Structure 1
Amino acid sequence: MVEDLETLSSKELHDRAVERAMRHVDVGFLWRLLKAIPAAEAASGHPDQAEADISHLSAMLNELVHSGESDVADALRPLYLDYLRRSDA
């Protein structure tokens, strides 16, 4: 990829990674993202939300959709960067 991914916002990285995974039906990445969200929320100061996500699949799916927002996206940034870099290799 010609563009430097580091210059993108966490929201942009989220959008690109999730869009690519959906387009390529990359269930493996989406599952890794779902598993990483509770830890990212806890690291972002939302431990109550992280606990709820572990208990409820529907909450996790909702968080997948919103995992590109605010401090949670920042905590997931390394996951998005790794996925997008591997996808372009």
Structure 2
Amino acid sequence: MEATGLESLPASELHDRAVRYAVRHGDLGFLWNLLKVIPAAEAASGNEEETTADLSRVSALLSDAIAAGEGELGEALRPVYLSYLREHPDA
């Protein structure tokens, strides 16, 4: 899908495409970056209690990364997914 069409997709679809592409291509850099930005996205989406928990538990971050395309968190992470998918137009 060309980059201009990505803007119209819901955050959950952006998440699924970006994570699926990263896993398929072994792009640990993207997945690691996603884990690093989730706490800030949690805070931006109003889940400050979750931010504290995420910072102290790596397992929570891994779980969040799998479901990070839903709701307010997915919307907060939209720019991350859009940027990644623009870099990889075949995703």
TM-score of the two chains, using structure 2 as the length reference? 0.93
What is the CA-CA distance between 1:66 and the residue it aligns to? 1.2
- CA–CA distance in structure 2, aligned partners of residues 53 and 72 of structure 1: 13
Structure-2 residue corresponding to 1:87: 88
Structure-1 residue corresponding to 2:69: 68
Runs (4+) of structure 1 exceeding 3 A deviation are none
Q: Which has the higher contact order (CA 8 A, sep 6+)?
A: 2
SS in 2 for 1:68: coil
Structure-2 residue corresponding to 1:78: 79
CA deviations 1:26-70 (Å, max 9, x no partner) are: 000000000000000000000000110010011111111111110
Structure-1 residue corresponding to 2:27: 26
Q: Which amino acid aligns with 1:53?
A: D
TM-score of the two chains, using structure 1 as the length reference? 0.95
In percent, how many aligned pairs have the same letter? Answer: 54
What is the CA-CA distance between 1:4 and the residue it aligns to? 0.4
- CA–CA distance in structure 1, aligned partners of residues 43 and 67 of structure 2: 15
- CA–CA distance in structure 1, aligned partners of residues 5 and 67 of structure 2: 24
Aligned length: 89
- CA–CA distance in structure 2, aligned partners of residues 50 and 24 of structure 1: 29
